[in-house]
């Protein structure tokens, strides 16, 4: 399963639905930062199933998951569920970077800088 990056084929229909119903923030991040190896030459996938979850964006080479959270993630139950999800994905060996919709929609240059900084730090740590 590790060779396939914990891909869960049972979640494929849900991932496809998520791709087709992306939020404005997800679309902006994809189009302006992640698509076509725009981010330092790294390839990202949209709505990739990993374990029991669907990651918003995933780079196999970096083992990096990027999540874009809307307002619903601020409620107490969602915060607890997000933490559980994050812990499980980290336990599988992945790194997570999380942004909220507002950051992506109103400060994309800072989102880009944050991701570039994370990648540079990752490369130095290899």
Question: What CATH number was assigned to the domain covering residues 2-125?
Answer: 3.40.960.10
pLDDT, averaged across the chain: 89
- The mean pLDDT of 44-49, rounded to a whole number, is 95
pLDDT at 29 over 80: yes
- 21 neighbors 15 (Cβ within 8 angstroms): no
Dist CA 73 CA 121 (whole Å): 27
Write out pLDDT tens, residues 74-111.
556 677 888 899 999 999 999 999 999 999 999 999 99
**Cβ-Cβ contacts under 8 Å for 92 (sequence gap 6 or more):** 6, 50, 51
φ and ψ at 64, to 5 degrees?
-110, 130
Listed by start position, the domains of the chain span 2-125
């Amino acid at each position: 399963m590790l060779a396939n990056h914990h891909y869960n084929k049972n979640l494929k229909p849900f991932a496809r639905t998520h791709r087709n119903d992306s939020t404005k923030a997800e679309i902006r991040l994809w189009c302006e930062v992640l698509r076509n190896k725009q981010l330092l030459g790294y390839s990202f996938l949209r709505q990739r199933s990993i374990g029991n979850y669907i990651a918003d964006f995933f780079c196999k080479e970096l083992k990096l998951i990027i999540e874009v959270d809307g307002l619903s993630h601020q409620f107490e139950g969602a915060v607890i569920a997000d933490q559980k999800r994050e812990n499980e994905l980290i336990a599988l060996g992945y790194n997570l970077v999380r942004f909220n919709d507002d950051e992506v929609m109103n400060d994309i240059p800072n989102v880009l800088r944050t991701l570039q900084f994370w990648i540079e730090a990752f490369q130095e740590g290899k």
